[in-house]
Amino acid sequence: AQTVTQSQPEMSVQEAETVTLSCTYDTSENNYYLFWYKQPPSRQMILVIRQEAYKQQNATENRFSVNFQKAAKSFSLKISDSQLGDTAMYFCAFMKLANKLIFGTGTLLAVQP
């Protein structure tokens, strides 16, 4: 069974600085997909970024980028130029094919003014 681990329950960053959130996972699959979702205080679940395991290139979406290390089963999220609106719970998630998402326990990120 697949598992997803987020070892940082809480993190804090100053506005305009860069922060990296960690995520590791365990799977015996070779073909899978990884995601980061954010959940702001409004409780919505918002897709941040997606990575395909068979692609070497790290995904980027504006200020958000990932460091995907397949051999190490690591999938960290880097947020550059942090903004107050980035304050949220961030969840790392694993998906095989078109199946269910398996979520980590989340990292609560606070962006300080």
Partner 1 sequence: NAGVMQNPRHLVRRRGQEARLRCSPMKGHSHVYWYRQLPEEGLKFMVYLQKENIIDESGMPKERFSAEFPKEGPSILRIQQVVRGDSAAYFCASSTGTEGQPQHFGDGTRLSIL
Residues in contact with partner 1 by CB under 8 A are: 33, 35, 37, 42-47, 50, 52, 91, 95, 97-106
CB of 14 to partner 1, least distance (A): 26
Long-range contacts formed by 28-33: CB under 8 A, 24+ apart: 29/2, 29/53, 29/96, 30/54, 31/96, 31/97, 32/2, 32/94, 32/95, 32/96, 32/97, 33/94, 33/95, 33/96
C-alpha distance from residue 32 to each of 19, 29, 42, 55, 69 (Å): 26, 7, 30, 10, 13
Q: Identify which of residues 44 and 60 has a Cβ nearer to partner 1 in the complex.
A: 44
CB of 45 to partner 1, least distance (A): 4
CB of 46 to partner 1, least distance (A): 8
Q: Identify which of residues 18 and 44 has a Cβ nearer to partner 1 in the complex.
A: 44
CB of 106 to partner 1, least distance (A): 5
Q: Identify which of residues 42 and 56 has a Cβ nearer to partner 1 in the complex.
A: 42
Q: Identify which of residues 13 and 49 has a Cβ nearer to partner 1 in the complex.
A: 49
